[in-house]
Structure 1
């Protein structure tokens, strides 16, 4: 199980995330939205599109713009649409469950390893 944790609170939990550029993107249904407040911050990734941000709020403490998502990603990033990633002190802990799929597992197989 993979978890995003900040201030001792689990913000998201899932058996699998989508990994893009080293970041774990949590499926929308795995995120505890009661800890997220929409932010006016946006940023532009040349290949993923415009990211929108959330401020994380736990027990009165805030972590501004510590989570982001792509509501309308480019076609290249469509698999992370509305998935939420975390940074800025939010710890991502744990390991994925089950067999790896996709390009990473195929490459690992070609190299004789497991992923």
Structure 2
């Protein structure tokens, strides 16, 4: 699976390494090009996953705010709900293409 925006690859991993949570594909951190992401100050806490870290996509002079997110330290109870530890896995906004 590959996450792309405007022809730029943001993440790339075999589907069996991704997690699907609430309809969103989450990429393992080692498969994400963090040189294209910048931490955002946007606050959000999910009731069952915990505190979220948003990222803006930065490519050249373009900055697309809050188009990616991760849960660096999810609530331990979320691991049971998802079935595995998804700390730091990155998901992308629907404007980012995620496909094979």
The aligned counterpart of 2:4 is: 5
- 5+ long unaligned stretches in structure 2: 80-84
The aligned counterpart of 2:82 is: none
Runs of 4+, deviation exceeding 3 Å? none
In structure 2, how many angstroms separate the alpha carbons of the residues matched to 1:55 and 1:63? 5
The secondary structure found in structure 1 opposite 2:55 is strand
Choose which of 72, 83, 86 in structure 2 pairs with 1:80: 86
Q: CA deviation at 1:23?
A: 0.6
Number of residue pairs matched by the alignment: 93
- 5+ long unaligned stretches in structure 1: 95-115
Q: CA deviation at 1:88?
A: 4.6
| CA-atom RMSD in angstroms | 1.1
